[in-house]
Each structure stands twice: as C-alpha cells, then as structure tokens.
Amino acid sequence: MAVAQVLRLNPLPGVVSYFEPGQEFPARLAADSPALLAMTDLRQQVAFTVEPNVPIDQALQRMKTVGVRLLFVVNGDKDILGLITSNDILGEKPLKFHNEQQQRYEEILVRDIMTPHGRLEVLGMEDVQRATVTDIVATLRSNGRRHALVLDHDTHTGKPAIRGIFSATQIEKQLGQLIDTTEVATTFAEVEMALNS
C-alpha cells in the first residue's frame, strides 16, 4: 500500500472568489449536430427560480441579473409550480391581467401571469438523446416557442425531474443565425433551408 503524502497548506492570496457550476457550449453547431450539445443541462448549470408571490418587475430584474429569459416558479419544497419568461412579462399578459383584474402593474405577481404546471409540456430525455439540432429547431417552430423543457428520471430521488432546457436564443448563438419560432416549418427540407439561409 502506498504511503500517504501530506499536502502543503498555503495562505489565501488576498481576496478571492469561488467557482460556480457552468456549462460550456460548443461555439458553433451544425444542423445535424446532436441536440444535447445545445441543451442547458441542469446537472451542470444552476436552475434559476422565483417564488410565485414575487412582483413581475423583480422577476424580470432577476432574469437580467443572471442572464436568462426563463425562471422556474417554485414553492418552498422546490416543486415546480410553473414557469415565467421575459416574453410573458414584456408581452401582453400583464396588460390583459391589468384590464381583467383592475390591478396596477406594480401589483402584478409572477403567479398572475406564469404558465402553470398543468399547462407545461416537456420533451423526453430519451427522444432528445436521439435528436439533432434540426429536430429541436423544428419542434420549437412547430409549437411557436422559444424554450423547451426536457424531462428525465432523477436516480437520486426516483422521481421525474426537469433535466434540461432548450433555448432558441442559445441555439441562435451556436448556429450563428436567427430562429423564427412564429413561422411553422413542417418538413426537414424547410428546416434545413431556414438553417442554411
């Protein structure tokens, strides 16, 4: 058996920071790249959250601070109650809620305009593992969405959990082109043409 070596302890060199989990995305993707290369993997990247009773202005400020466009709305047990995006806050939802409820804008809470748990749809991790970037772009386009959630089985808890997020913005950066999610492309040829234009 090898003899243990005692490592030298050094004084801390002045002010230091600390590492945080982060995920390195490939700088460039091709249309036929594996979809996993474009997925934010929540095993490597922190999931940013907000509570349902937070004013939407604060939720938007949190998004700006951490550099995301989507927050999971969670309770004290970290159960996902829904999600809210910057498009929800900056779009028509607050105005519609204001008109219906006669509430001032600064009183509108995350829970008032979030997409609730019961209306969320997810991709299965098994499907994502076989998919390409083209498949994800086609899925986002066909559903008119900027984000897609990926569900996997958490071996630590034995329960299903959100494993990843696809963001049209992230994919745009990696492909080097815009993805119009309002236009529905239904065939591989249309997706290829849009990706290569």
- In the chain, where the domains are located: 35-196
Chain segment 41-84, per-residue pLDDT in tens = 999 999 999 999 999 999 999 999 999 999 999 999 989 999 99
Q: What is the pLDDT of residue 197?
A: 47
Chain segment 123-182, per-residue pLDDT in tens = 999 999 999 999 999 999 999 999 999 999 999 888 899 999 999 999 999 999 898 887
Q: What is the pLDDT of residue 83?
A: 95
Q: What is the pLDDT of residue 42?
A: 94
Q: How far is CA 57 from CA 36, 91, 192, in A?
A: 33, 13, 39
Question: What are the residues whose beta carbons fall under 8 Å from the beta carbon of 33, sequence distance 6 or more?
Answer: 26, 132, 133
Structure tokens at 77: 């047990």
- State mean pLDDT over 91-105: 91
* 52, 110 contact by CB (below 8 A): yes
The class that CATH gives domain 35-196 is alpha beta
Please give the Cα distance from 140 to 30 (Å, whole number).
17
Q: What is the pLDDT of residue 195?
A: 53
Q: pLDDT tier at 23 (50, 70, 90 boundaries)?
A: confident
pTM: 0.80
